[in-house]
Chains A and B, each alone.
Chain A
Amino acid sequence: MSDSQTTATPDLQQGGISLRGVINSAGIGLALLLLIVFFSFASEHFLAPNNITNILTQITINLILAVGMTFVILIGGIDLSVGSVMAFAAVVAGKAITLPGLGPVELILLATTAGLLAGLACGMLNGFLSAYWSLPSFIITLGMLNIARGAALQVSDAQTIYSFPRAFENFGSLLIYGVPVVFLVALALVVIAWFVLNRTVFGRIVYGIGSNEEAVRLAGHDVFVYKVAAFSICGLTAGIAAIIYMARLNISSPIAGIGFELNAIAAVIIGGTSLSGGRGSVIGTLLGAFIIGVLANGLILIGLSDFMRQMITGVVIVVAVVLDYYRARLAGNGR
C-alpha cells in the first residue's frame, strides 16, 4: 500500500535510520574493536609496536585496491581483474625503472607514470566495454583478468624484474613514528575517495547510478561517462598498488597479485557496501580492510593454521553478506 495517502510518521523513519546507521558503520567499527580487544588479550605480541607496523604494511595493498573497488561496486559493477592489472602495471613499471642510461629520479618518475597509466588504461577498457554494450562487468573483467595476466607474462617474458634505484626501495620501507609511509599513501587515497564520493557531484551520481540508473539518465546525466570513470579509478588504484608493491618488495613479478581481487571485494563487502550498488562508503571499506588484516595477523599470532585462517575469513565474509541482507530490508522498510 505504498500509495496510501498518509505521510510516514517521522519518528518511525528516524528509528529506522538510526538502527540502520548502527548496523552500517558503528557495527563494523564495533566488530573491529572487538577483534582488536580479543587479540590483544589472546596474544601479548598483538599490540607490540612492531606488530602494528606489520599489520599496517600488510593491509596497504588490499586497502588501495579496495578503495578503487568501492567505486565500481557502488555503481553496481564488479572488477575481477585488479589483481592481474596490478601485475601488468608492475611489469610495465618494472621495465621502465630498469631502463639503462637514466638517473634514479627520472627512472622513478617514468616508472610511476607508466605503471599508473597501464592500470588506468586497463580500467578504462573494462569500463568502456561493459558500459558501451551494457554487458555484465563480471564477464568483461573476468576476460581482463586473463588478458592482463597474459600481457604481464608476455611483457616480462615470465621473468621477475629487480634491481631498482635505492631511493625507490627505501621509500617502500620508510616509517614515520612506526607508521609505514606506504600505508599513509593508502590512507590518503581513502580520504580523497571519501571526499569525492560525499562532497562532489561525481560522487552523488555514482551513488545514484547504483540505486537507479534510469532515473539518473533521465535527469540528464551521461551514465556512460560515469561508469567508465568508476572503472578507470579502479584501474588507477591497481596501478598505484603496483608501484607500492614494487617499492615494498623490490621486485616486480608477472605472477604478483593472484587472488587479490577477492580480498579487495571482501573488504568492500565487509565494509557494508551493497553488492548491488548504491549503498555503502569508503570508510566502511577502510574498516573492512582492517578487519581482514587484523584477522589474518591475529589468527597467526594465536597459533591457528593457515587453513583455519582462511576458513574464518570466509565465515566473516558470509556474515557480512547476511548482515547486508538485513540492512537492505531495513533500507526499504515497509515495502
Chain B
Amino acid sequence: MTVDVSSPVQTAIGGSPNVIDALDLILTVDQVRRYFGGVKALDSVNFSLARGEVHALVGENGAGKSTLIKILSGAIRRDAGDIVLEGQAFDPTTPHDAKLLGVQVVHQEFNLLNDLSVAENISIEALPRRFGLLDKAELNRRARLALDAIGLGELDVATPVSKLGIAHKQLIEIARALQSESRILILDEPTATLTERETRRLFDIIDDIKKKGVTIVFVSHHLEEVFAICDRVTVFRNGQTVTTQTIKDSTPKNIVQHMVGRTFETRTRNRQAVDSDDEVVLRVDQLRTSVCPHPDGVSFQVRRGEIVGIAGLVGAGRTEVLRALFGADRPQSGTINLHGKLLTLKGPGDAITAGIGFVTEDRKEEGLILAMDLTANTSLANLGSVSSAGLLDFGAERRMAKSGGERLNLKYGQLSNPATSLSGGNQQKIVLAKWLARNPQLLLLDEPTRGVDVGAKAEIYTILEGLANQGVAMLVVSSELPELMTLADRILVMADHVFQGELARSEFSQASILALAYGQTPEHLPDREGPQQ
C-alpha cells in the first residue's frame, strides 16, 4: 500500500504568496545546487526563513540537510543558486564570514577545548584583552552573562569543560554561538545526546532566544520535538526540498510520508517459518559484557535460520553484546555455545573460525579499509582461501569479489576502485560480501542499513531474508523499529544492559518495543501514532 504524494496537498515552497508574504523573511534560498564530484548532494533546494521563527529541517540521512547547513555556515560553497540574507546576497567563503554576517551553527560534534574553562570556551573567538593581556575579570563577566542568559545560573564559569556532562557541553556551545550577534542560529541535532529533562530545558532556551528575534533552524530526527517547538518545517528528500509546511497545519504522519516519498510498504515476508525444534545455533548464558552492571547478564538463543532482533536505546548495551559474541571485547563472565559446543574466544579470529560474521555499526571505522580496492575489502576476512603458503592468488581473489558482487547486486565501476568510490548502500554490501564469502552460520549485524538509501535498504533486507532461508542464524541490532519489525522473527528489547522483554512477531508494534526500551511494560505507553502534545 502506497500513498501518492506527488501532488502535494500542502503549500509548495515559494508558492501561495498569501502565506509567505505574511512572513517577514530574513533569508531566502533559491535553486541551490551542490555536487561532490559527479554526485548530486543538493539538487534544487528552495526555502525561506522568517524572522524569529523556529524552522525545522527534516529528512532521511543523506537527504541534503547537512550539505545545506554547511553552505549556510560557509564551510563549503554552492555550485549554483541564490541565497539572500536581509536583502543582500549571502555568499560566505569561510565559517568566519558567515559568523560576521550573523549566521551561527552549533554542530553535533562539539568544538570545545576540553582543558579550558567554561568562560574561556565561551569567549574563545574574541578573548577580551587589557594591555595585551587576557582580561580575566571581563572574561568571567561575559561568561556569567552568557550562562545566565540560557538559564545556567548555577554553573561556575571557571569549571573546565572536561568536567561537564554532554548536555552542559551542548548548552555551552549554544552560549558561545549567542556571544556574537546572531541573526540565524542553526542547531544541528541538538537533542541527540540529551535526556528528556535536558531537552525540555533546551526548548525553554530556544523559546527565549526566539523572543529576542533570533531565527532558529532546528535539525532533528525526532518529529515529536519538531512538532513541540517549531513554527514551520521543510522536508528534504534526495537533495531536494519537497515541501515546507506550517506546523499547526501538519501532522507527523504527513511529514513522514514526504520524507519517504511513500508510506511504509508492509513488505511481504519471503521467509520460511522457524520451527521451535530447529537446531539452536547460538546459546548464550549469563553473558556479562565488560560494561554490564548486572550480575546475571543476558541469556538467549538463536535457532537455525532465525533472525532475532535486538532493540533498545543508544547506550542500552546492544553493541556490546555483539562485540562480546564476536570476541572483539572480552566479557566479564558467561558462556557462549555455538552448535552446542562451548566457544572460547580470544579474539575475533576465533569467532570467525567458528563461523561467525560481524557487520559492524560503523563501516568506515570498523568495516572497510576505505583506501583499498573492492577486491581487497571483500577478501579481507578470507585471505586464507585466496592464498597458498601466504602467497596471494590475485585471480582467485578477483573471482571471490566478482561473485560476491553479483550475489549482492553490487553497483560499482571497477573492482580495482577504492571503497570510497561506492555509495553508502554499496559500501555496506561490500561489508556483507566480506562475511558471506566465509559462509557464516551466525551473522551479527549492527545497524545494517545505517546511512543507506531506501532502495539499497530493501535490497539488503531481501539478501538477509535469503540468508535466513538458507539456514543462517542472525542477530540484528537496529535503532530503526520498522527495520526490526520487517526482519526479525523475535525482538529482544534491551534497557540498561539487560533484556527488558521479548516480543514474538504477533506482538510487534513500535509502541510495545519503545515501552520496553524505556524500561516500562507495554500497557503503560501512550499511543505514539498520533501527534503528541
Residues of A near any B CB (own CB < 8 A): 1-10, 12-14, 17, 199-202, 204-205, 207-208, 211-212, 214-222, 278-279, 331-335
A214 in contact with B365 (CB, 8 Å)? yes
- Can you spell out 20 A-B residue pairs with CB atoms less than 8 angstroms apart? A1-B66, A2-B62, A2-B451, A3-B424, A4-B453, A5-B62, A5-B423, A6-B39, A8-B422, A8-B423, A13-B413, A13-B414, A17-B417, A200-B391, A211-B369, A211-B371, A215-B366, A215-B367, A218-B348, A333-B420
CA distance A220 to B358 in the complex (A): 10
A279 in contact with B426 (CB, 8 Å)? no
For A1, give its contact among B38, B39, B392, B422 (CB under 8 Å).
B39
* B residues 322-348 in Cβ contact with A at 8 Å: 326, 328, 347-348
A220 in contact with B422 (CB, 8 Å)? no
B423 in contact with A219 (CB, 8 Å)? no
Q: Would you give the shortest CB distance from A66 to chain B, in whole angstroms?
A: 22
**For A10, what are the chain B residues with a Cβ–Cβ distance below 8 Å?**
413-414, 417, 421
Whether, in the assembled complex, B195 has its beta carbon less than 8 Å from a beta carbon of chain A, the answer is no
**For B425, what are the chain A residues with a Cβ–Cβ distance below 8 Å?**
5
CA distance A335 to B372 in the complex (A): 15
For B424, give its contact among A2, A211, A215, A221 (CB under 8 Å).
A2
B391 in contact with A199 (CB, 8 Å)? yes
**For A216, what are the chain B residues with a Cβ–Cβ distance below 8 Å?**
369, 380
Q: Would you give the shortest CB distance from A153 to chain B, in whole angstroms?
A: 40
Q: Would you give the shortest CB distance from A207 to chain B, in whole angstroms?
A: 7
For B371, give its contact among A9, A14, A217, A278 (CB under 8 Å).
A278
Whether, in the assembled complex, B25 has its beta carbon less than 8 Å from a beta carbon of chain A, the answer is no
**For A13, what are the chain B residues with a Cβ–Cβ distance below 8 Å?**
413-414, 417-418, 421
**For B423, what are the chain A residues with a Cβ–Cβ distance below 8 Å?**
3-8
For B67, give its contact among A1, A6, A335 (CB under 8 Å).
A1
The 6 closest A-B pairs by CB, nearest first: A10-B413, A1-B41, A3-B62, A3-B424, A5-B453, A220-B352
* Seed contacts A4-B239, A10-B413; 20 additional CB < 8 Å A-B pairs: A1-B41, A1-B239, A3-B451, A3-B453, A5-B238, A5-B456, A6-B423, A7-B426, A8-B413, A13-B418, A201-B383, A211-B372, A217-B328, A220-B348, A220-B349, A220-B353, A220-B381, A221-B349, A332-B370, A333-B420
We find that the number of chain B residues with CB closer than 8 angstroms to chain A is 59
Name the prevailing secondary structure of the B interface residues. mixed
> Which residue of chain B has the shortest Cβ distance to A203 in the bound complex?
B392
Q: Would you give the shortest CB distance from B387 to chain A, in whole angstroms?
A: 5
Whether, in the assembled complex, B131 has its beta carbon less than 8 Å from a beta carbon of chain A, the answer is no
Looking at B370, B387, B451, the one whose CB has the most chain A CB atoms below 10 A away is B370
Q: Would you give the shortest CB distance from A257 to chain B, in whole angstroms?
A: 32
B372 in contact with A334 (CB, 8 Å)? no
Q: Would you give the shortest CB distance from B175 to chain A, in whole angstroms?
A: 30
**For A202, what are the chain B residues with a Cβ–Cβ distance below 8 Å?**
390
Whether, in the assembled complex, B411 has its beta carbon less than 8 Å from a beta carbon of chain A, the answer is yes
**For B392, what are the chain A residues with a Cβ–Cβ distance below 8 Å?**
199-201, 204
> Which residue of chain A has the shortest Cβ distance to B455 in the bound complex?
A5
For B369, give its contact among A199, A208, A332 (CB under 8 Å).
A208
Q: Would you give the shortest CB distance from A218 to chain B, in whole angstroms?
A: 5
A222 in contact with B417 (CB, 8 Å)? no
Q: Would you give the shortest CB distance from B371 to chain A, in whole angstroms?
A: 5
A334 in contact with B376 (CB, 8 Å)? no
Looking at B238, B366, B370, B371, the one whose CB has the most chain A CB atoms below 10 A away is B371
